[in-house]
Amino acid sequence: MMFKKIQKFSPKYLQDLFIERSANYNLRELNKLQLPKPRADYLKRSFEYNGAVVWNDLPESLKSSSSSLGVFKKKLKSHFSSLGSRTEVM
């Protein structure tokens, strides 16, 4: 869902939930979403907060690699399967 938002494939009401970071100069973490400031614990369980956290935690190479949803899904699946194999070894 977050990939669709970034690529502008999602409806406007979903795009309005998430704000991309912007600056007048080049930053390393510019390709991240702004996290809403949680005033209560229930916001930390919301789609708006968790979607931004998960997207921001993805590697930069995965987020900016392609504009195709199918290719992104394949890379995401291989990324999570490699993470799973690392935790089993440890």
- What is the predicted pLDDT for the residue at 49? 86
pLDDT of residue 33: 78
What was the pLDDT predicted at 25? 61
**Residue 90: its pLDDT value, please?**
45
Of 40, 77, 44, give the one whose Cα is nearest residue 58.
77
Nearest to 37, CA basis, from 46, 29, 28, 27: 46
Sign for the pseudo-dihedral over CA of 82, 85, 87, 89: negative
**What is the structure's pLDDT at 89?**
47
Task: Provide block-wise average pLDDT over 10 residues at a time, the chain (90 residues).
Answer: 78 79 60 75 84 86 78 87 66
pTM attached to this predicted model: 0.65
Residue 76 is inside which H or E element, if any?
helix 69-89
Check residue 62 and give its pLDDT.
84
